[in-house]
Amino acid sequence: MKKFLLLTVLLLTVFSSLVYAGVCEKVKLTEHVPVPPYKVESKREVFGLCEMILNINGELIPVYVTEDFVISGEMFTRKVQVTQVQIERVRKKVIKENLMKIETLRYVSYKPEGVKEGRYFYFISDPDCPYCEKMKGKVKELADKYGWEIRLIWYPLPFHREAKPKAVAHYCENRTYEDYLKDDYGKKECKEGEREVEKNLRVLRPIVRGTPTFIFPNGEVVVGANERRLEEILRNGG
């Protein structure tokens, strides 16, 4: 009886895989819905649907597709956020692919004494971001506690009108992280600083969806003022 049940389960599993095999090869997203220019960052079969993570202007958009329909949104099963787990995997991959570009950007370094080589992370910030303001002191505290270099990169958001001039001035006057803590950005603007900020925006736009964002050399990323997650990564060594 047990052998019969085992064989039945095996046959059903094989049958299901044959039925759903090639789901992603058959789907044609644009036949169902108009989509702006996009890049497919991830494609896999999930519960008989083709899950696609689309990169549209730097934002990762999940859709679930068959030959007959498209579902936009998130999938949950047994209290697991299936979609978000995959999005984080994709985001980590995208970050790693773009790390060499990030490393060419100008940053403001805060380096506690005795930090080991290669032990750093990028703090992507906007001078007028309230969540960055909330985190900036805590970030320094954690960097001191666990021995990490902070590499501050300015990413002024377009709806913060004064953010870009502050970021430019901070670069032009060679201000420090300590100046950032005191909201002392300086007032001088220069072409070099303008170019540096524009480069930041150009390179980070496909990667960063908001501030603050924390990026590690291994591709790990923390989005938002998630103090607990940031400390967890710093404590565990990245």
Residue 159 CA to its chain's centroid (Å) = 20
pLDDT tops 70 at residue 3? no
pLDDT of residue 238: 67
- When mean pLDDT is compared across 106-110, 163-167, 219-223, the lowest value belongs to 219-223
pLDDT tops 50 at residue 19? no
| Whether residue 221 sits in one domain with residue 121 | yes
Alpha-carbon distance values, 155 to 25, 111, 128 (Å): 38, 21, 10
- CA atoms of 4 and 199, how far apart (whole Å): 65
- When mean pLDDT is compared across 19-28, 71-80, 171-180, 187-196, the lowest value belongs to 19-28
- CA atoms of 163 and 55, how far apart (whole Å): 26
CATH number where 168 lies: 3.40.30.10
Task: Single out the residue of 120, 195, 113 nearest to residue 154, CA to CA.
Answer: 195
pTM for this model (two decimals): 0.72
Range of the domain at 185: 102-235
| Whether residue 225 sits in one domain with residue 146 | yes
pLDDT of residue 81: 86
Return the higher-pLDDT residue of 179 and 28.
179
Report the domain count for the chain: 2
Q: Which band of pLDDT confidence, cut at 50, 70 and 90, is reported for residue 155?
A: very high
Q: Within 13 Å, how many C-alpha atoms sit on residue 196's CB side? A: 24
| Whether residue 140 sits in one domain with residue 66 | no
- CA atoms of 201 and 89, how far apart (whole Å): 23
pLDDT tops 70 at residue 226? yes
Percent of the chain beyond pLDDT 70?
91
